[in-house]
Structure 1
C-alpha cells in the first residue's frame, strides 16, 4: 500500500531533482555559447518549464506505485550546435552538466542531513523526522537520476557523452539507435538493469555520502 506521507515528500523531491538536472543543461549550453534554452526559459527550477507528460508524470508515478524511488526524464533541452564553438566537445559537457548537477545536489543534501542528524536529534521529532526523510530521499533520487541518465543510450545524457568521445566515422552508426532509444532502455530495465546495476551504484555512493544511514 502506498504511504501518502512519503508520496507527499517524494514527488516534490523528484520534481526538484529533475528541474535542477534540466536547468543545468540549459545553463551549460548558455555558457558554451548557445542561448536557445535560456531564451526558452529553461534555466529555472520551476518544474512547469521542464515537464514531459510521460517522463515526468506517467513513468515516475508507475515506479512509485511499484514502490521504487521515482526516476524519469523531462522535455529535452534544445541545443543549437551552430552556436557552439566546438559542437561535439561542448555537447559532451552539456550532457555531463545534468548528472553532475544531480550528484552536486546529492552531496549538498547529504551534508545537510549529517549536520541535522548530529545537531538536531534531541529536537522536536514531529518536524525533524519528515525533514530528515526529505533529505534522505533527495540524496537517493538525485543519485538515481544521475546514474539513470548516464546510461549510454540515446536520448539519455550518456549518449551525448559517448558521441563526444566516439571517432567521427562511428557517430552515424551510433545515432541509428536514437529512434529505438527508450524501447532499449525499457528492455534493459525489464531485464534487471535497475536492480543489478543502477541500485548497487546508487547504494554504494549513498552509503558513502550518508555513512550507511
Structure 2
C-alpha cells in the first residue's frame, strides 16, 4: 500500500483504538467510585472528546514511517481519593486501557486466523491488530505518566509513590528522548515484545 492508502486506512482505526483505550480508563474509574471522568464527559465513544491532536499525528506518522505506531490520547482525569485503596485503584484503572487494546487485538487476530478475509477488510483488520498491540505494549512502559507506571506504583510505599508521581512532568520527555535518540533500539524492543504478544495470541486462538 502507498503511504496515502496507509493513512486513509489507519487513521479511523487509530481514532477508534485510542477512544476505546481512554473509555476503558473512564469506565473502570467510574465503576470503582470515581465520578470525575463521567462528570467531564469522558464516558463516551465520541473520539473528539478523547483525542490529543499531536498524539494522534505522532501515531499516524510513526506508523507510516516505521510501521510501529507511537502516540497518545488525552489522559482521563482520575481522582484516586474516591478509591478505598488509592494506589491499587489507580493501578486497576491504568491496566484497563492496555487491557482493552489487547482485547481488541485478540479479536482482530482471531478474525485473521478463522475468517476468510480479503482485500481492504483484511488490511484493516491487520492494521487494527498492529496498532492495538503496540498501544498496549507502549502504555505498559513503567515510566510516568504511562499506565505501566501506575501499575508499578501499586507496589511502592506511600512516600516512594508520591515521589514517583512527581516524574509525571518529565516522564514523557524521557520517553520521547529515548524514542528519538535510541530509535533503533527502541523499535527493536517494541518489535520483540510485539512478537511475544503475537505468539501468545496464536496460542490462545488455536492458530
Q: Secondary structure at the match of 2:43?
A: coil
Contact 1:17 1:142 in 2 (8 A): yes
Question: CA deviation digits over 1:14-42, x for unaligned, max 9?
Answer: 11111110000001001100121122222
Q: Which of 147, 166, 191 is 1:199 aligned to?
A: 191
- Go from structure 1 to structure 2 and tell me whether the alpha carbon gap of 1:208 and 1:162 turns closer, same or farther (over 3 Å shift): closer
Scaled by the length of structure 1, what TM-score is found?
0.86
Q: CA deviation at 1:205?
A: 1.8
Please state if 1:15 is matched with 2:7: no
2:173 corresponds to which residue? 183
Contact 2:68 2:187 survives alignment (8 Å): no
TM-score, with structure 2 as normaliser: 0.89
| Corresponding residue SS for 2:134 | helix
In structure 1, list runs of 5 or more residues that go unmatched.
121-127
Pair 176,39 (structure 1): closer, same or farther in 2 beyond 3 Å: closer
Shift of 1:208: 4.4
Partner Cα separation in structure 2 for residue 64 and residue 201 of structure 1: 16
Q: 1:189 to 1:178 in 2, by over 3 A?
A: same
Q: In structure 2, what is the Cα distance between the partners aligned to 1:136 and 1:31?
A: 32
Contact 1:99–1:150 (CA<8 Å) still a contact in 2?
Answer: yes
Q: Deviations over 1:93-126 (max 9, x none)?
A: 0000000000011101111222223xx5xxxxxx
List structure 1 runs of 4+ shifted beyond 6 angstroms.
Answer: none
Secondary structure, aligned partner of 2:115: helix
Deviation at 1:136, TM superposition (A): 0.9
Mapped partners of 2:202, 2:10: distance in 1: 18
User: Which residue pairs with 1:47 in the alignment?
Assistant: 47
SS at match of 1:165: coil
Q: 1: CA distance between counterparts of 2:2 and 2:155?
A: 43
| Number of residues of Structure 1 aligned to a counterpart in Structure 2 | 202
**Corresponding residue for residue 116 of structure 1:** 115
Q: What RMSD, in angstroms, separates the aligned Cα atoms of the two structures?
A: 2.0
Deviation for aligned residue 1:196: 2.3
Structure 1: distance between partners of 2:64 and 2:119: 23
Q: Which structure's CA Rg is the greater one?
A: 1
Does the 8 A contact of 1:139 with 1:206 survive in 2?
A: no
* Structure 2: stretches of 5+ with no match in the other structure: none
Helix, strand or coil at the partner of 2:68: coil
SS at match of 1:70: coil
Aligned partners of 1:68 and 1:114: how far apart in 2? Answer: 21
Which residue of the partner structure matches residue 125 of structure 1? Answer: none
